[in-house]
């Protein structure tokens, strides 16, 4: 595709349920990032994948959060046992040489 | 620890005015700096990327400058239009470690017709 795509665009779930968020990066981009934007807050880095290297998970807020990237392309962010404080917009970005990052439209997660 | 600050937090100007948005960062050892705009309920749109070796970048009515030694970048918008209304974010990547962005909290711009 022409840009980074994310699905779903909106997700409403009940507290305690697991959710999966998907990101399709720009074709050929080797780096993929997940960020979180909470209401009234800035963007918070979550996790970064670069090629076949071990991911940088330093931004994940708890062990309920995990992410994988299959085949160096599509990535899935999983949140287990969701809490109300997990409500936010989850943004994915990808980049290639030069490290200019291109963002997807985001997934708005609401935990009731 | 890198911290990025944007001033002002909000700005309202009449159409046609030239304006400057400011971004400052505490650690001058950066790899690059990128300016984005974010429309309400949308993702981020890349505006300009400045590599650490560059002093400025221009795209249309936008000009971004970088002064690494003083930890500052400015985004200049010429002849502002109502369509420029959005939140503007700057972000920096550190020169060492992984290439993750540290974002400022943004400047919310409103251009009045």
> Rounded to the nearest 5°, which phi and psi values hold at A85?
-70, -10
What is the average per-residue pLDDT within A41-59? 88
- All residues of chain A having their beta carbon less than 8 Å from the beta carbon of residue B93 are 99
Q: How far is CA B45 from the centre of its chain?
A: 12
What is the average per-residue pLDDT within B98-109? 88
- Tell me the C-alpha to C-alpha distance, in Å, between residue A68 and each of A7, A48, A106: 15, 10, 17
> Rounded to the nearest 5°, which phi and psi values hold at A56?
-90, 105
pLDDT of residue A71: 80
pLDDT tens, residue by residue, A36-48: 998 877 889 999 9
Among chain B residues, CA nearest to A48:
B100
**Lowest-pLDDT range, A6-20, A29-43, B23-37, B47-61?**
A29-43
In this model, does residue B33 exceed pLDDT 70? yes
As a whole number, the mean pLDDT across chain B is 92
In this model, does residue B5 exceed pLDDT 80? yes
Q: How confident is the model at residue B97 (pLDDT cuts 50, 70, 90)?
A: low
**Lowest-pLDDT range, A8-12, A63-67, A99-103, B14-18?**
A99-103
Query: What is the three-class DSSP state of A85?
Result: helix
Strands (E), A4-112: 5-7, 10-13, 19-24, 31-37, 43-50, 65-69, 75-79, 88-95, 102-103, 107-111
- All residues of chain B having their beta carbon less than 8 Å from the beta carbon of residue A104 are 43
How far is B11 from B18, CA to CA, in rounded Å? 12
Which candidate from A33, A59, A102 shows the least CB-CB separation from B46? A102
What is the average per-residue pLDDT within A23-39? 92
pLDDT of residue A1: 53
pLDDT tens, residue by residue, B53-85: 999 999 999 999 999 999 999 999 999 999 999
How far is A24 from A32, CA to CA, in rounded Å? 9
What is the average per-residue pLDDT within A54-76? 91
pLDDT of residue A98: 63
Contacts of residue B43, Cβ cutoff 8 Å, sequence gap at least 6: A4, A91, A103, A104, A105, A106
Please identify which residue in the block is written with the tokens 């017709």. Answer: B113
- Partner B, chain A 68-97, Cβ-Cβ below 8 Å: 91, 93, 95
């Amino acid at each position: 595709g022409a840009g980074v795509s994310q699905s779903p665009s909106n997700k409403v779930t009940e507290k305690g349920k697991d959710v999966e968020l998907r990101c399709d990066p720009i074709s050929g981009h080797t780096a993929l990032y997940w960020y979180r934007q909470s209401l009234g807050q800035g963007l918070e880095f979550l996790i970064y994948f670069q090629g076949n290297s071990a991911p940088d998970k330093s931004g994940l807020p708890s062990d309920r959060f995990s992410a994988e990237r299959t085949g160096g392309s599509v990535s899935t962010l999983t949140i287990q046992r969701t809490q109300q404080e997990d409500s936010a917009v989850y943004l994915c970005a990808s980049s290639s040489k030069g490290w200019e990052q291109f963002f997807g439209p985001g997934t708005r997660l609401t935990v009731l | 620890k890198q911290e990025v600050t944007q001033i002002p937090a909000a700005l309202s100007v009449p159409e046609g005015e030239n304006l400057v948005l400011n971004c400052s960062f505490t650690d001058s050892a950066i790899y690059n700096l990128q300016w984005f705009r974010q429309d309400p309920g949308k993702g981020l749109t890349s505006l300009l990327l400045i590599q650490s070796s560059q002093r400025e970048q221009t795209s249309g009515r936008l000009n971004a400058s970088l002064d690494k030694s003083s930890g500052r970048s400015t985004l200049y918008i010429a002849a502002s239009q109502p369509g420029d209304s959005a939140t503007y974010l700057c972000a920096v990547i550190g020169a060492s470690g992984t290439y993750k962005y540290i974002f400022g909290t943004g400047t919310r711009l409103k251009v009045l017709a």
